[in-house]
Amino acid sequence: MIRKLIVSLAAFAATAFISPYAAQANDKAVIVLDASGSMWGQIDGKTKIEIARETLSGVLDTLPADLDLGLVAYGHREKGNCSDIEEIVAPGPDSRQSIRDAVGKLNPKGKTPIADSVKAAAEALRFTEDKATVIVITDGIETCSADPCALASELDKMGVDFTAHVIGFGLSEEEGRQVACLAENTGGKYLQASNADELSGALTETVAAKPEPKPEPAVTEENIRMTAVLAEGGPDYDLNGRWDYFPMTGDTPSDDSIAGGYDTEFTTTLEPGRYLLRYRKDAAQAETVVDVKAGEAIDRELVLDAGVVTVRVLAEEGGEPDHAGRFDLKNGEAEGGAYGEGTLVFPAGEVSLSTRLGKSDAEETFQLKAGETVIKDIVMGIGILKINAVYAEGGPAVEGGDLRVDVLSGKKSLDGKRQEIDGAYGPGNEFKLPPGDYVVKARLQNAIVEQEVSVPRGEMTEVTVDLNAGVLSAKAPGAYRIDIFEAKTGLEGNRKQIDGTYGEEYQITLHPGEYLVVATMGDSQGAKKETAATVAAAERAEVTID
């Protein structure tokens, strides 16, 4: 499957750099690679970052030798930093191995600043002076305070011949729309796939084929001017939506648009005939039939019957938008949303708004009038729970990713169990929760502790869990296996086995107590040797079986 993906992306590269819509000899291009934390997600059992590494490695040597190629990555150095953008390899003809080495070292961990990364790549290419191509590979949408659609329009207007192509890994249709405009607004292409097979098929089917050239219109003077408005006689608003004209045969429009672009006001030149005009901006759409006659000009408004909704998801009253929060709007079949904050043009009528932040969610409905602007600051009223752990009270802190912390419901269900609310590995994790009582469960190997905690609204609650644990290190040269047992025997004379592993060394975290270390020597049928061990809190016990 990876080989198929490599072949398909090679077809994409050939189109991006050889077709009339991409680079020719001596052109320059930059790959913008998503290295945010979500790239550890899997497609068909393989992490996305691994697929990206293998794919790029296979593609690089197939590209034209005279193409100057560079690499920009984001989210690979810090968590939660929207400025974590780096031009790792400057565009150059001999950059292939440098790019291959750089991608192999990326360690995904941060946020997804797509717009600013594309801008950085465009500037590296001197897009206002030379033809430039950017290829964005992302598995997520913008999670920082930027508008990829507006940026694309800006780059398209400022650039000599700027094109952006976008490849989406596992994005939903709505998420795809939020990044596809980067490609659409610059004349590039957006490819969407939910798994490796679909990605491979999409690349082969839609990218490898060269677009057919559009016929030149015989009419040379602009005879169409259309202006999008939210409501008839309503306020001016910079819509910057998408216009498309489809030739009609009778009442049937063609599948292909022959004229289109992005702006609030759109002018073009059309041959006499009948056309379906279709316009869309965010979740709002409108269409009308235009009859073009020889010698006549059309200057008309297209009424969207829509309003503007701005939503900000706040953790607390008066706070800044939290970009871990999500809001979604819906009115009939019209849907749209964003993370943290966003402004959407939406059809007038009854609109449902749902928001979520961490494990807190809220819903409401409101009436949106045509031409109206509505601002919604949604205060989620959450609290933040930060969890760390120590081996003993006042003792050393637990470090490293082996620590598992889980947040459980404060109350038990009828069967005596607690609901799992959230969880993560490592110390210092923060959980956004509705106010209430919870139980924190911390586990480091065989040391497990539960602790009750209350989370108030609008506050950070820091909890340090006392694991009351120490470390037992056992060595047995020549051992086939080492096992750890409780020293005390049960009523039937048997000891409870704690854990074990194959090999000559074993280290385990345990609660304080007396234990028995048993080594099976040589092979599975070998002689057993044993020794006693005492584990104390916040201390390391070492035993050797000779």
Q: Pick the last residue of a domain from 379, 400, 416.
A: 379
Domain assignment of residue 291, yes or no: yes
**Cα–Cα distance, 489 to 412 (Å, whole number):** 33
What is the 3-state secondary structure of 242-280?
A: EEEEEEEECCEECCCCCEEEEECEEEECCCCEEEEEEEE
CATH number at residue 504: 2.60.40.1120
Helix (H, G, I), strand (E, B) or coil at 302: strand
On whether residue 21 sits in a domain, the answer given is yes
Among candidate residues 391, 298, 537, the one with its CA nearest the CA of residue 288: 298
> Last residue of some domain: 379, 402, 434?
379
Helices vs. strands in the chain: H and E counts, helices first: 7, 37
Query: What CATH number is attached to the domain comprising 363?
Result: 2.60.40.10
Asked if residue 168 and residue 140 are part of one domain, the reply reads yes
Q: Are residues 487 and 423 in the same domain?
A: no
Same domain for 23 and 157, yes or no, is yes
Q: Are 179 and 375 in contact (CB under 8 A)?
A: no
Is the alpha carbon torsion for 171, 177, 178, 180 positive or negative?
positive
> 19 lies in a domain?
yes
pLDDT at 57: 77
In a domain, 214, yes or no: no
Sign of CA dihedral 68, 208, 121, 82: negative
Domain that holds residue 485: 470-544
Write the secondary structure of 326-362 as one string of H (helix), E (strand) and C (coil).
EEEEEECCEEEEEECEEEEEEECEEEEEEEEECCEEE
pLDDT value of position 37: 84
Residues 321 and 288 in one domain: no
Question: Could you report how far apart the first and last alpha carbons of the chain are, in Å?
Answer: 50
- CA-only gyration radius of the chain, Å: 30
> For 409-418, which contacts have Cβ atoms below 8 Å and span 24 or more sequence positions?
409/438, 409/439, 410/436, 410/437, 410/438, 410/439, 410/452, 411/437
pLDDT at 373 (0 to 100): 95
Cβ-contact 102, 71 below 8 angstroms? yes
Assigned domain for 217 exists: no
CA distance 406 to 421: 8
Three-state DSSP at 281 gives strand
Same domain, 388 and 495: no
- Give the end of a domain, one of 450, 466, 482: 466
Beta strands in 284-417 (DSSP E): 284-292, 298-303, 306-314, 326-331, 334-339, 341-347, 349-357, 360-368, 373-379, 383-390, 404-412
The pLDDT averaged over each successive group of 10 residues in the chain (546 residues) is: 41 43 60 86 78 74 77 88 90 88 88 89 84 85 83 83 82 78 84 60 39 45 91 84 94 92 92 95 94 93 95 90 93 94 95 94 95 94 94 92 94 92 93 94 96 92 96 96 94 92 96 97 94 96 96
Residue 215 domain-assigned (yes or no): no
What is the DSSP annotation of 454-477?
Answer: EE-TT-EEEEEEE---EEEEEE-T
| Bridge partners, 131 (sequence order) | 161
Residues 6+ apart with CB under 8 A from 327: 311, 313, 337, 338, 342, 353, 354, 355, 378
Of 431, 377, 382, the C-alpha closest to 408 is 431
- What's 6's domain CATH number? 3.40.50.410
Number of structural domains found in the chain: 5
Closest to 437 measured CA to CA, from 454, 415, 412 = 454
* Same domain flag for 241 and 333: no
Q: Is residue 438 part of a domain?
A: yes
Sign of the CA dihedral running 248, 254, 258, 260:
positive
Predicted confidence at residue 196, as pLDDT, reads: 53
The verdict on 367 and 389 lying in the same domain is: no
Q: How far apart are CA 221 and CA 325, in angstroms?
A: 49
CA-based nearest residue to 327, from 311, 316, 343: 311
* Interatomic CA distance for residues 470 and 543, integer angstroms: 14
- What is the DSSP code (8-state) at residue 321? B
Centre a 10 Å sphere on the Cβ of residue 79 and count the other Cβ atoms it contains. Answer: 11
Dmax (CA) for the chain in angstroms is: 105
Separation between Cα atoms, residue 465 and residue 451, nearest integer Å: 7
Q: Are residues 249 and 339 in the same domain?
A: no
- 149 and 252 housed in the same domain: no
Give domain status of residue 212, yes or no. no
Asked if 438 contacts 382 with a C-beta cutoff of 8 angstroms, the reply is no
- Within this chain, do residues 184 and 259 fall inside the same structural domain, yes or no? no
Is the pTM for the entire model greater than 0.75?
no
CA-closest candidate to residue 111, choices 133, 84, 73: 84
**Could you tell me if 389 and 513 lie in one domain?**
no
Note whether 397 and 251 are same-domain residues: no
For residue 405, give every residue at least 6 positions away whose Cβ sits within 8 Å of its Cβ, in sequence order, or none: 387, 389, 423, 424, 425, 427, 429, 440, 441, 442, 443, 465
Amino acid at 501: T
